[in-house]
Structure 1
Amino acid sequence: MLNLLHRAAAIAAGALLGLTTVLAGPAHADAPTPQTDITGAAACVAGEWVVTWTITNNWTEQAKVGKLTTAPASVPGLDNGLYLYRRSESGTVGKNVFTQVLRGSPPSASVSFVAEWAKTKDRDNTATVQLGQCDPPERPCVEKAQARFHHEFAIKEGEAKATVSLDGDVKLCAAEPVTLVTYFAPKPQFSVPQYAFAHQSATISNEDRTVTLSAKLPDCYTQADLFFGGEDDVIEEITEGGRRYDDRKLGSRTGLGARSQGKPGWYNGGAKGCHQPLVQPVSQCDGTVDVNLSNPGEQTKYAVDFTVRAGDFTRTVTVAPGQGDTVRVPAGSGPVTVTADDMDDVTYTWTRPGSCPAPVVTVENDCKTVAVTVTNPRDAVPARATVAYGAESKQLTVAPGASERALFTAGEATEATVTIEGREPVTVSVEQPDCDSPGDGGPGDDGSGGGAGDGTPGDGGNDGGLPVTGAAAGVIAAGAAVLLLGGGVLFLVARRRRITFTP
């Protein structure tokens, strides 16, 4: 029985030894076939795909990379000719890790290569990773006060021009309007009131990060402003104590305007006033001067104060845009001077209009005296005249609507000359009347006169003088005789017929 147990134990031990030999036998077999493997993993990070490629080498020799292809882009560090880590002595496979960053959300990424050892190759090394949309995370936006800009501002060729840009890769929480506006101004320095002339607005946004603006300048004194704000923020009229753009102007030292770097975004200047004062003096026949004042022009925005001076006369008149007025300067005031802002002084001296009627000159000669009369029209200046007759001359001053005479002793001169101040001399004829006494035919021989009706003088005359005789006396005498004869005939007829005349 005991022997039987020993034999059974011996058989069992032999069987166990045989089993152990069978199990240990493979440890003495050859190493596995040389092989490489590639895997890929991808992650979307901040809008970019980060792909990690892992290549393992299970052989005890380094594997060389060949016939490498990558899509859609190369893999940094993975190139043809690269040697891959080998399996360690402990049996750990060689591991090689490469990182690839892809932008633009490609649909996939892939790598393919051939691993080469000294005596063999592994051609089956391909891996593909599916990608797709990879959006960046929503950026936090910046509020109005935190946004930063830069700008350019210039005045040239009759325009104000500006460019404004958003700085940095930031996102605005709200769009930022900006406006360029130009004004009429009363002076080339800041002054009021001002009136809007032209403007342009634009909006800076995350899509439109740079804007360009321009606005025409008026052809006169002007102001231009570049400010943060839109069309609704344009001040149409800048007045004393009214609204201002203040530190909203780009380039300001403080406030919203200080967010933009650049030269000051404002301008004052111009070469002439925004009005066109005109003066037109007109002389009148009575010596007054009508000074016509006007303030015309399409760009006229301001009233003009005209001051008219002449001797002791002074008057200031304010003429509104597009209006006119007239100042009458009294006669005899002297030279007229008109002044106004942005206008050269106008100086004028009264000149007699050519249409004024001239004084009238008449002459009378009664053989003893020559009278020259000068008559001045009613609406005229006093006429200062020099009257010359023969060797004499006399001065006259004739008021408007009046007459004055210059008297001279009658002589043989047949003309008189009248020179009126400011006019050409006038020469008038002086008629010579028959200045002899009526004819007496000479005294008779004895003072009784000549024969009746024969027109011959007598032998003498007397101091008392006789009626004029001659042909005229004969006619009268004949007429008287006829009348007397007719009366006698009528008397005789009346007596025969016994006719009675009743008185």
Structure 2
Amino acid sequence: MIRPKLSLRRPLAVLGAALIGLTGVVAVATPASAHHTTITATADCDRLTGERVITWKVVNSEDNKDATLQKVTTEPDAPVNVPVEGAAPVALEGTVIAKSGSVTAVERVPGNTAKATLKVYAEWLVDGKKTASSTNDGEINLAADKACAPAPTCVDADKATYSHTFDGPKGTATVKLEGDKPLCGEGKQWFTLVSYFAPRPQFATPQYVYGTPDSDWIGGTQREITLNVEIPNCHTQVDLIWGDKEQVIDPLVEGGKRYDNKKLGSPGAPGNRSKGPQGWYNGGDKSCTTPATTFASKCDGSVAVSLTNDGKTSKYPVEFEVKGENGFTKKVSVEAGKADNSIVVPAADAGKIEVLVDGKVLDKGTYSWQRPEDCPLPAVTTKADCKNFTLTVTNPEGGLPVKATFTYESKTETRTVAAGGSETVTFKAGKAKSALVALPDLDLELEAVYAPKDCGGTGGGGPSLPVTGAAAGGIAAGAVALLIAGAVLFVIARRRRVTFTA
């Protein structure tokens, strides 16, 4: 028997349709006979593509016959496919629904679709012969939902927000793009960290950029950056600003430009588009200058002192005070970017030398005279005959006086040899075969062998340079040149006993 098609205008059907329209699910049963299919639907939004994804469910009404879906039509026209686990989906049309069974199929329609329908023509067979057929349709109302649109895959640079960290005393900062979307296209946002040296630990001018500002950008796959700058060892200001190095103000002067809300963490735009601590710092515990000193010992015992105020890292004058342990004192003011090489501490006033700024000794500002390696060493000459053994120490000009000790047998003579002068000691020839010349100021020791010629056949032969003993001190620069009977000896070893024949 063929039953009349149910009308949706009937009260119960109208109420059901209204509920389905609100929920996005519809079940339309319009059987033309006892054999029929029942169709329901749900819908989701694919934010990646902006499409509506409709899942249709078609139910076979018969519990003793399979239904074959011979024809399927949709509005809007789009493929309707049955998912198959582990394989490609198959078309809903031609699908067989088992007794009392159902099939689920998926249709994708544009995101602005207001209504979608599915119509199926099904046949029921017994022993290969058609016993019944029915055309049924289902409908889903999508108008109750907002239109489905693709979710944004990126964020415009002028709308992006960030978060940041900031450590002013260490000169470090990080900036990170918020959310999970990159900046659109080739958009980039620059950020810069800059440090200054300043006249006070609170905001004051003038301020001058210290070192090189660090600048980097966020864009593309680069979502986070780290910035680092050097911090002067003095009063300073550090700023984390919105923009590249072109935004850096140098110098910061009274009545001049300011960063204002360009500093990240500011209350206004653009700095307030990054969440985090205030991106600025003022501090430091001493005057912001860069004084330095170097020392150079001279052979005469004096010390040359060089004072510098590096203009690359300082814009303020520095007053130096140079003090010698033995009473020397002098104050010199050096402008930024300048140096003063005029100070020489005399040997008599030197001792320990200190260079002070603001009453504090500079780093590497303490020095004591050290003999330069290129200072000429004293020379020793010898002369021997059958009655006397004579030794002479000659001290070059431009040096310091040296103490010389001459020892032969049990006799010792001590002399102080002035710079540019010489001292001679003559010993009466005895049985000892050598004499010792010690220069304790230079930590040097020399042994001369007494071997005169033609003394009744007891003398030695020609000159020789035997060296005995081991070094008792460090090695000094120089050369050894020995000439017997008027020769000059240049000593190379500190506390090295050099034995020579006279």
What band does the TM-score fall into relative to the shorter chain? Answer: 0.3 to 0.5
Work out which structure has the larger RCO, using CA pairs closer than 8 Å and 6 or more positions apart in sequence. 2
The structure with the largest alpha-carbon Rg is 1
Normalised TM-score (structure 1) = 0.43
Normalised TM-score (structure 2) = 0.43
